[in-house]
């Protein structure tokens, strides 16, 4: 005689045990991978940019070209172009001799925040006179 529990069940007892065994094995494999393969970030950014060796010394963002700025860590051609464009805009609008007086002035460039500023700080200087200052 079939019990009521087995009559309503879609799977037999042996099928349920087999399915539970498979689920347990899958969970064990996933737990094993979690414990032994901990990776929070698969590819963290390097401490030094891959082209940082091309820098001879610190750059002044008031004088540097797009090519020179693109060597900075976390920079590329698009950020370098944005820095140069903002520099030219600020120089035209304000009539000042220097567009960037300090590191924080670069945060006005889209895509440059506190994290990027921290990474590029060792590569920049704001002490050098600009070409306009030299001509006076």
Say which CATH topology domain 54-135 has: DNA polymerase; domain 1 (1.10.150)
Domain positions in the chain: 4-36, 54-135
Render pLDDT for 48-95 as a digit per residue (tens, 0 to 9).
767 666 666 788 899 889 998 988 888 889 999 999 999 999 888 887
Render pLDDT for 3-52 as a digit per residue (tens, 0 to 9).
655 556 688 899 999 999 999 999 999 888 888 876 665 676 777 767 66
**126: three-class secondary structure by DSSP:** coil
- Name every residue whose Cβ is closer than 8 Å to that of residue 90 and which is 6 or more positions away in sequence: 96, 99, 100
The residues with which 11 forms a beta bridge, in sequence order, are none
Q: Is 74 left (phi over 0), alpha (psi -120 to 50) or beta?
A: left
Token representation of residue 79 = 């950020």
Helix locations, 9-113, DSSP H: 13-36, 66-69, 77-94
Is there a contact between 83 and 69 (Cβ–Cβ < 8 Å)? yes
């Amino acid at each position: 005689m079939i019990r009521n529990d087995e009559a309503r069940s879609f799977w037999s007892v042996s099928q349920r045990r087999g399915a539970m065994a498979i689920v347990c094995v899958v969970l064990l494999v996933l737990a094993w991978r979690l414990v032994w393969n901990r990776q929070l970030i698969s590819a963290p950014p390097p401490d030094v940019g891959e082209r940082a060796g091309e820098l001879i010394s610190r750059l002044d963002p008031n004088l540097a070209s797009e090519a020179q700025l693109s060597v900075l860590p976390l920079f590329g051609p698009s950020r370098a172009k944005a820095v140069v464009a903002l520099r030219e805009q600020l120089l035209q609008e304000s009539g000042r001799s220097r567009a960037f007086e300090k590191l924080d002035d670069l945060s006005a460039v889209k895509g440059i925040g506190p994290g990027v500023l921290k990474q590029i700080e060792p590569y920049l200087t704001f002490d050098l006179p600009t070409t306009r200052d030299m001509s006076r």
